[in-house]
Amino acid sequence: MGVLNAGMIGPLIGSANYLAGMAESAGLVMVSVLLNTIMAASVVAIAVVLYPVLKRSSETLAIGYLAARIMEGTVLAIGGIAWLGLVSLGQGFAEAGVPDAAHYQALGGVLVSLSMSAFTLGAEIVFGISALVLNALLFKATLVPKWIAIWGFIGGALLSTLGVMKIVGLPYAAVEIAFTAPVALNEMVLAIWLIFKGLNLANLV
């Protein structure tokens, strides 16, 4: 869902005339907000479902994982709310005329910055941290093959690093795909493994 949302909203926010574009594409934005809300709720639900299992390995780490995913879901939801604000602002911008345009553009810039920062924090930094904690738990209790957990741990570290680079203003374009792909592929492999094999609960005592 995150990739789909990025494909739908990214070009609108990134355009020079983003306020008019958000207003004209209000329906598309609403769909994106709905998908984003589902995604935000899902990341929390996954942690809630896994918590009873993970705490049998380490209650402290399990609580940390749950807290990280709750934070991730909350921040992602805030980013979606910023999109709704841009739609309303864009509609007002279209009606205001040139004299008041600067005020709308200034506020629009704040909402765009809020949206981008929210997704950098939630979908990269906090998600990367949650991946570190989850895979540490999976590795510790051998709930999945260790190579999957190691892969996920490295992927989480790279993704968090990418998010921090964006926040502090370091150049990241050259490494963005390399730092994003490992955890994205790991998530798919882990999901397939869980569907067909499940967690190795026999290793929990």
Summarised one tens digit per residue, pLDDT across range 91-126 is 887 776 655 667 777 888 888 888 888 889 998 999
Other beta carbons within 10 Å of 64: 19
| The predicted structure's pLDDT at residue 205 | 62
Q: Which residue has better confidence, 27 or 70? A: 70
Q: Which residue has better confidence, 71 or 36? A: 71
In a 13 Å sphere around the CA of 118, the CA atoms on its Cβ side amount to 21
| Dist. CA 116–CA 172, nearest whole Å | 15
Helix, strand or coil for residue 90? helix
Instruction: Give the pLDDT mean for 25-36.
Output: 86
| Dist. CA 190–CA 135, nearest whole Å | 10
Is there a contact between 69 and 43 (Cβ–Cβ < 8 Å)? yes
Nearest to 56 by CA among 193, 190, 203, 195: 203
What's the number of domains the chain is made of? 1
Answer whether residue 3 shows pLDDT above 60.
no
Answer whether residue 175 shows pLDDT above 90.
yes
Q: Which residue has better confidence, 176 or 23? A: 176
| The predicted structure's pLDDT at residue 4 | 62
- Tens-digit pLDDT profile for residues 135-151: 999 999 999 999 999 99
Q: Is the dihedral of CA 130, 131, 135, 136 positive or negative?
A: negative
Residue range(s) defining the domain that contains residue 18: 2-203
Q: Is the dihedral of CA 21, 22, 24, 30 positive or negative?
A: positive
Confidence of residue 50 (pLDDT cuts 50, 70, 90): very high
Tokens, residue 25: 């594409």
